[in-house]
């Protein structure tokens, strides 16, 4: 890949990658850092990655960089403080905006389910593309999407969450 093609990749894909990462990490600065880390990884492999495969490489590297960061942060967190934060979300919280309900439901999903749902439903990737990005096989991708959607539906239809 040439420098011009690399720059074109930044122009074409950085916004989509940022949106995907931001939906998952919910921190603008972390998402920006992850995008930079992803493009730094692409730069180190610029001779090996062709322009035609750059989008797939970028989203795959971004996904794995995000998962690695989540794992590092999880190791550094105090277990009890995480448990308290989860229990403090409160089931009697009042909602009047469907977007807030959906976001809270997404936050409750395991990271893998959330990522594949975001790639499929928000970014519009095919099962094959998600398979390449996440390293899961196609049947695993379909199962995670199915289970995640069921969990979302179960959470959203509870009247106490909507009222």
pLDDT of residue 20: 87
- CATH match for 91-163 among 1.10.10.10, 3.30.565.10, 3.40.50.150, 3.40.50.300: 1.10.10.10
pLDDT of residue 93: 47
Supply the CATH classification number for the domain 1-76: 1.10.1740
DSSP string, 104-133: HHHHTS-HHHHHHHIIIIIS---HHHHHHH
Place of tokens 């009047």: 96
**Mean pLDDT of the 103-130 span:** 85
**Mean pLDDT of the 124-153 span:** 87
Q: Residue 131 pLDDT > 80, yes or no?
A: yes
pLDDT of residue 163: 53
């Amino acid at each position: 890949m040439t420098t011009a093609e690399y720059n074109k990749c930044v122009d074409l894909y950085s916004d989509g990658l940022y949106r995907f990462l931001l939906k998952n990490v919910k921190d603008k600065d972390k998402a920006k850092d992850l995008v930079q880390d992803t493009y730094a990884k692409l730069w180190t492999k610029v001779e090996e990655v062709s322009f035609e495969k750059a989008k797939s490489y970028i989203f795959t590297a971004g996904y794995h960089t995000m998962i690695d960061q989540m794992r590092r942060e999880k190791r550094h967190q105090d277990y009890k403080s995480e448990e308290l934060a989860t229990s403090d979300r409160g089931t009697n919280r009042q909602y009047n905006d469907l977007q807030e309900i959906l976001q809270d439901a997404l936050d409750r999903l395991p990271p893998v389910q959330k990522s594949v749902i975001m790639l499929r439903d928000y970014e519009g990737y095919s099962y094959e593309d998600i398979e390449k990005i996440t390293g899961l096989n196609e049947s695993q991708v379909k199962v995670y999407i199915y289970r995640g959607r069921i969990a979302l539906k179960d959470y959203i239809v509870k009247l106490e969450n909507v009222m």
